[in-house]
Structure 1
Amino acid sequence: MVKNFLLFIISVVFSFSCVAQKQTTQLEKTTTENVKTKLVVGIVVDQMRYEYLTRFQERFGQGGFMRMVNDGFNCKNNHYNYVPTYTGPGHASIYTGTTPKYHGVISNSWYDKVSKKYVYCAGDDAVASVGTEDTSGQMSPQRMKTTTFADENRLFTQMRGKSIGISIKDRGAILPAGHTANAAYWFQGKLEGNFISSTFYMTDLPNWVKTYNESNSVSKYMKEWNTLYDISTYVESGSDLNDFEGGFKGKESATFPYDLKALSAENGGFDILKSTPFGNSIVADFAIAAIDGEQLGKDNNTDVLAVSFSSPDYVGHNFGVNSKEVQDTYLRLDKDLERLFNALDTKVGKGNYTVFLTADHGAVHVPSYLKSVKIPAGYISSTQTKVRFEAFLKEKYNSDELIESVSNNQVFLNREKVKELSLDLHEVQDAIVNEIINYRNIDKAYTAYAMSNTSYSSGIEKLLQNGFNQKRSGDVIYVYDPATISYSLTGSTHGSGMSYDTHVPLLFYGNGINKGSTVKRTRIVDIAPTISALLGISFPNGNIGLPIQSVLVQD
């Protein structure tokens, strides 16, 4: 009897113990799954083709790109859904969830039809430089017409959540951080080698930035640039010596190694570092310093850190997408990403932050290289094209004042002159289209009237329409043949609606992110609403994208 009673007591205690353990396990699971993202880190790699992820995959370590691929979510078929694919529009679109049609950043620079002059996407004469005497600090996001998800996060947290932008390029820091940003910092090269800002954000640099600048840590990168590994193992890229690369002034051939200190005097002082992988290292150094300096991810208000690695773009423009210089840049960037992720683990905590990585555009293979392997490609002189149809308009309308500007593959008409000559604007636009479509290496041309009054659902026409801003874009838009550019015979560029420019990586990692991948087509404008959905905040006010459901852990 006593024995049976004791067995009963033991079984009851064991049952309660199991229930308690189960409840504790469930509570721990729920707590882990419901941890709020304390910091969102947006990473943009300037001029990164998607295939760099796969072409260099075997050479990457496990802590950088592959950490995101293996432990995060990989959108393998991610594209820009507009033209032109440039840095300014790219950064704006990633963070606003919309296209130039709505956010208004139609290029890096463009002809302004009101002021009758060229304007820069981040330029602002109403503000002053901070941290330098140079005018390079006169920048703000005032030409971007819509909010970013960083802005919406600031509004949601009653301005308690911080927004910080960091890049080598001013536009790469300013546009992502948004209108309400606490700060944006960009690199001032030349003889300075410092990070600077503008009075749009502050009247003086914070002490942590001053400390960083005064440390002169940038100088340690003014050294020899040689390949990270034995150059003979770089079989994923072309030969080191070829006819398709630019190189640096003062060096006869574009071949490794490069003595950056010796070459700096002829290549802009500290500016030479922008065109090397060490520019990425500088950005990573500064971003890690910012985590501490700005106390990011330290409270219950989500912060946003926008980091843009600009140097791959400088390297790609100089050496081309198939160069060993590009490969070395990405192998070294992989290590810088690992440093950044390790710092986030330590300073913010694993599971407390969310990261996405993408690019502002891709790039074309050097056309002269493509031609050498019998792939259709070519070059076009925008100056000669302009001269030719100016002559056409002179002959047809007996006026040489009908064109105000030709830029960004757009023709801007002098509408006052058109009216003065009693010409029909649409007829003049059509005449230019019918003329220019006959030129060699011009593939397509469309009028502003067509862009404004026709609804295109697919193809290059849809991409052009998404990039067309009625108040800011020109009267005629034209498109080059595939792999045809207006550029030097060496190095790569970008800007088209072809897949080599539109197809870019999109990786998500961290809190709230599923592990997996998809080949379903995603769009660059889907990033902002995906992050907004993760945070439970309002979408940016011009948003046209959709959250990528497969990326997010569902409640």
Structure 2
Amino acid sequence: MTKALSLRAIVLAAASLALSSCYAATPAPSTASTLPKLVVVLVVDGLPNEQVQRYRDQFGQGGLRRMLDQGASFSNAHQAHGVTVTAIGHSAVLTGAYPYVHGIIGNNWIDPITKKSVYCTEDTNYTYIGEETKPADGTSPAKLKVNTLGDELRYATGSKSKVITVSGKDRGAILLAGKTGTAYMYMEKTGNFASSTYYMKQHPEWATKYLATKPQDRYYGKSWSALLPEAAYAGDAPEELNAPKAGGHNRLPYSYYSESGEIDAGYYASLRVGPYLDQLTLDFARAAVEGENLGRNPAGVPDLLGVSLSAHDYVNHAFGPESKLSHDHLQRVDRMLAEFFTYLDKRVGMDNVLVVLTADHGFPNTPEFSQTQHFDAQRLDGDKLMAALDKHLEAKFGVAKLVQAWSLPNIHLDYALADQNKLKREDVENVAAQYLLAQNGIVDAFTRTQFESGAVQGTHINTLMRRAWNRQSSGDLMVITKPYWYFGTGTSGTSHGSPYAYDTNVPLMIMGKRWIKPGAYGQYAEVVDIAPTLANLLHLRPPAGSEGRVLTETLR
């Protein structure tokens, strides 16, 4: 009996030792003290990843290079929907959702009931605080149909966490802030940053004091000059490819003034093109960090700061991503971010900060530049195309004005008119689609019937277009231009909005040494992966419409 007990004791002791070793090898679960104190989400409006890769050797040490070297950087990350514009891209970042769910299908779209154009963040129930407000100005997230990561954070902490966003565009701030955050946006007429009465009745004291210093006035009469030696820009497109803007502003140095000779609305609007708008945005973000004491809550109560830098989009629209101005502007963004990270390190400590950087969309080259590369590239006049489509439908069915409204790539047909004339809706759709497919510059067209029946399948681009189509708000037809073509007029500049890689491939970087494994990642990733990844790190449930994946390969 004694020997049996001894043997049993040995076996139990061995099992206990093995079990304790097993548990010892398992990492301890993270606690509130291991959560970041501050999450910073940076969106550089209109930044194709191609520019980050092309100019990376010229970056300084503390900004984009710091994120590339110390963070996880994805080279194959995409805004994975077919209509790549600012509002949709910003909505994707912290909802983790696609347009067919979150409801933001463009910067503007056609209201399905009134058939009038609506703006993505307009809401006449609210006004800007202390600023003129027009009916179509962006004042609330009412049209965003789902919540954001910031909303989940506020819910989980009983609203103890603060969510503050700032942008040069109202949609850039509002769609990052979600339903319960607070958004501040640049006012073109005054150069102030203002919130709206959706968020509060009046600005907090810190914001009022900051705005009283009028920091936007310090750039009047100043110029934006090249940051790097001239040889650094040798590979950029010739400046003569850019048609001169008013006042000859198509090259560096680029001056900031007004026609009146006074600091006025014309001057404040001019600040959008170039580095000073982004500098003002980051300066206001610093004021918000201090005024709201961001990153200084008790353990387990992180804050979230969203910053959308809008000026790169304006520069690329005007001059193209191949231009010297775009090249130099990105270098200046890099240096501004370096200064901002240095500030955060002193204020909060970068060991306590998790930083994400991405973009809302990429950019194609200007048609003029693409043509020098032997690409078939053009601007396509959408209004003329729609007028011709309407005439074709009238000739086919004997009914005028079957094309009711459009906000391309969405086209709305007058179904009621078709019904009155005993026309089958599907027949009208198909005739319209076949006509569009025959037009130069159009590569594909989809109908409502195809979307609703699930017929839009198969290719990657079809998937992107299906995600971009919202049953309640989108058109009865959606069209895709040929590669390097886009809807627009004029003789200079470029635009975005397509499902092609130059518009979808954007930077996606995550930095935070306590949570993220640094490295260059070649895996396919999407911007909608940001929200579930942050939710995982912050111990939150993902936002309601989130369909992205947790980027587990980057996590420590």
TM-score normalised to structure 1 length: 0.91
- 2:430 counterpart of 1:426: no
1:270 alignment partner in structure 2: 268
In the alignment, structure 1 residue 286 sits paired with structure 2 residue 284: yes
Alignment of 1:6-85 (within 5 A): 35-85=34-84
Q: How many residues align?
A: 522
Secondary structure of 2:150's aligned partner? helix
Distance in 1 (CA, whole Å) between partners of 2:344 and 2:35 is 15
Query: Which residue in 1 is equivalent to 2:550?
Result: 547
Deviation at 1:416, TM superposition (A): 1.4
Change (3 A) 1:34 1:73: farther
Are residues 33 and 472 of structure 1, via their aligned partners in 2, closer, same or farther at CA, if it must alter by over 3 Å?
A: closer
1:485 matches 2:483: no
Mean Cα displacement is larger for which, 452-461 or 490-499?
Answer: 452-461
Q: Is the 8 A contact 1:319 1:492 kept in 2?
A: yes
Hey, what does 1:115 align to over in structure 2?
Answer: 114
- Counterparts of 1:370 and 1:358 in 2: how far apart (Å)? 25
In structure 2, do the counterparts of structure 1 residues 425 and 318 end up closer, same or farther at CA, with 3 Å as the change threshold?
A: same
Q: Which amino acid aligns with 1:106?
A: I
Q: Note if contact 1:43-1:307 (Cα within 8 Å) is conserved in structure 2.
A: yes
- Partners of 1:515 and 1:207 lie apart in 2 by 40
Q: CA RMSD in A?
A: 2.0
Classify 1:457/1:81 alpha carbon distance in 2 versus 1 (closer, same or farther; 3 Å): farther
Residue of structure 1 in register with 2:212 after alignment: 214
Note the alpha carbon deviations across 1:295-335, whole angstroms, 9 max, x for none: 11101311111100000000110111111111111111111
**Structure-1 residue corresponding to 2:410:** 410
Give unmatched runs, 5+ long, in structure 1.
1-25
What whole-Å deviation, never above 9, does each CA across 1:53-99 have from its counterpart, x for those lacking one?
Answer: 12111211010001111011001100121110000000001111011
Distance across 2 between alignment mates of 1:449 and 1:395: 23
Contact 1:33 1:512 in 2 (8 A): no
CA distance in 2, matches of 1:267, 1:457: 50
Residue 500 of structure 2 aligns with an amino acid whose one-letter code is M
| Match of residue 379 from structure 2 | 379
Determine the structure 1 residue equivalent to 2:13: none
Q: Is the 8 A contact 2:258 2:266 kept in 1?
A: no
Aligned to 2:459: 458
Q: Distance in 2 between matches of 1:263 and 1:67?
A: 41
CA distance 1:329–1:472, shift in 2 (3 Å):
same
Q: After TM superposition, list the pairs within 5 Å mapping 1:487-502 onto structure 2.
A: 487=488, 488-502=490-504
What corresponds to 1:358 in structure 2? 358
1:504 aligns with 2:501: no
Report the Cα offset of residue 450 of structure 1.
0.8
Distance 1:359 1:324 in 2: 20
Preserved CA contact (<8 Å) 1:85 1:497: yes
Compare 455-464 and 51-60 and name the one that shifted more: 455-464
Query: In the alignment, residue 259 of structure 1 is paired with which amino acid?
Result: S
SS in 1 for 2:357: strand
Amino acid at match of 1:477: M
CA contact (8 A) 1:224 1:261 kept: no
Q: Contact conserved, 1:168 with 1:311, CA < 8 A, in 2? A: yes
| 1:6 paired residue number | none
Q: Which secondary structure does the structure 2 equivalent of 1:164 belong to? A: strand
Equivalent in the alignment of 1:257: 253
Of all paired residues, the percent bearing the same amino acid is: 33
Q: Secondary structure at the match of 1:42?
A: strand
Distance (whole Å) between structure 2 residues aligned to residue 534 and residue 335 of structure 1: 28
Give 3-state SS (helix, strand or coil) of 1:76's partner.
strand
| CA distance in structure 2 between the partners assigned to 1:204 and 1:347 by the alignment | 27
Distance in 2, matches of 1:114 and 1:32, equals 50
Shift of 1:414: 1.3
CA distance change for structure 1 residues 246 and 293 in 2, over 3 Å: closer, same or farther?
A: farther
Q: How far did 1:379 drift?
A: 2.0
Structure 2 residue aligned with 1:14: none
Quick check: 2:377–2:484 contact (8 Å CA) kept in 1? yes
Q: Please list, as runs of the form range in 1=range in 2, the aligned pairs for 1:323-362 lying within 5 A after superposition.
A: 323-362=323-362
Q: Name the counterpart of 1:436.
A: 436
Q: Which amino acid aligns with 1:437?
A: L
Is the contact between residue 40 and residue 303 of structure 1 (CA under 8 Å) also seen in structure 2?
yes
Kindly state the Cα deviation for residue 413 of structure 1 after the two structures are TM-superposed. Answer: 0.9
Can you list the C-alpha shifts for 1:388-428, whole angstroms capped at 9, x where unaligned? 11101111122213121122212101121121112111111
Query: For the structure 1 residues 51 and 112, does the alpha-carbon distance in structure 2 shift closer, same or farther, using more than 3 Å as the test?
Result: same
Verify the 8 A CA contact 2:146 2:545 in the aligned structure 1. yes
- Residues 168-191 of structure 1: CA distance to partner in whole angstroms, max 9, x if unpaired? 00000000110011x10001122x
The one-letter code of the counterpart of 1:497 is: P
Whether the 8 Å contact between 1:45 and 1:312 is mirrored in structure 2 is yes
1:229 is displaced (CA, Å) by: 2.5
Alignment of 1:86-165 (within 5 A): 86-135=85-134, 139-165=139-165
Letter in 2 for 1:471: Q
Shift of 1:244: 2.7
Do the aligned partners of 1:164 and 1:305 also contact (CA within 8 Å) in 2? yes
Distance 2:100 2:469 in 1: 5
Question: For residue 474 of structure 1, what is the aligned residue in structure 2?
Answer: 475
2:18 alignment counterpart: none
Q: Secondary structure at the match of 1:390?
A: helix
- Measure the CA separation in 1 of the matches of 2:420 and 2:356: 53
Of 368-377 and 203-212, more deviation after overlay is shown by: 368-377
In structure 2, C-alpha distance between the alignment counterparts of 1:129 and 1:507, rounded to whole Å: 33
CA gap of 1:382–1:138, structure 2 versus 1, over 3 A, is: closer
Consecutive aligned runs of 4 or more in structure 1 exceeding 4 Å deviation: 29-34, 262-267
Q: Distance in 2 between matches of 1:263 and 1:37?
A: 48
Give the whole-Å Cα distance in 1 for the aligned partners of 2:213 and 2:363. 36
Larger displacement relative to structure 2 (41-50 or 219-228):
219-228
Q: Deviations over 1:38-57 (max 9, x none)?
A: 11110000010101112111
User: 1:243 — aligned with what?
Assistant: 241
Assess if the C-alpha contact under 8 Å between 2:242 and 2:250 holds in 1. no
SS of equivalent residue, structure 2 residue 34: coil
Residue 88 of structure 1 aligns to a residue whose secondary structure is helix
Aligned partners of 2:147 and 2:32: how far apart in 1?
29
Contact 1:319 1:490 in 2 (8 A): yes
Cα distance in 1, alignment partners of residues 120 and 395 from structure 2: 36
Query: Is residue 73–residue 510 contact of structure 2 (8 Å, CA) maintained in 1?
Result: yes
Letter in 2 for 1:150: G
Picking from 493, 517, 521, the partner of 1:518 is 521
Matched to 1:541, the amino acid is A
Per the TM alignment, residue 380 of structure 1 is displaced from its structure 2 partner at its CA by: 1.3
How many angstroms does 1:115 deviate by?
2.5
Change over 3 Å in CA distance of 1:545–1:138 after alignment to 2: closer
Q: In structure 2, how many angstroms separate the alpha carbons of the residues matched to 1:552 and 1:131? A: 44
- Residue 117 of structure 2: SS of its match in structure 1? strand
Question: Is the Cα contact below 8 Å between 2:127 and 2:133 reproduced in 1?
Answer: no
For residues 246 and 124 of structure 1, what CA distance do their matches in structure 2 show? Answer: 37
Superposed CA offset, 1:97-137 (max 9, x none): 01101000000000001122111001001112213134376
- Which residue identity lines up with residue 237 of structure 1 in the other structure? D
Q: Which AA in structure 2 matches 1:496? A: S
Find the aligned partners of 1:58 and 1:264 in 2 and give their Cα distance. 42
The 2-side partners of 1:144 and 1:264 are apart by 40
Letter in 2 for 1:525: V
Q: Is contact 1:250–1:263 with CA below 8 Å preserved after alignment?
A: no
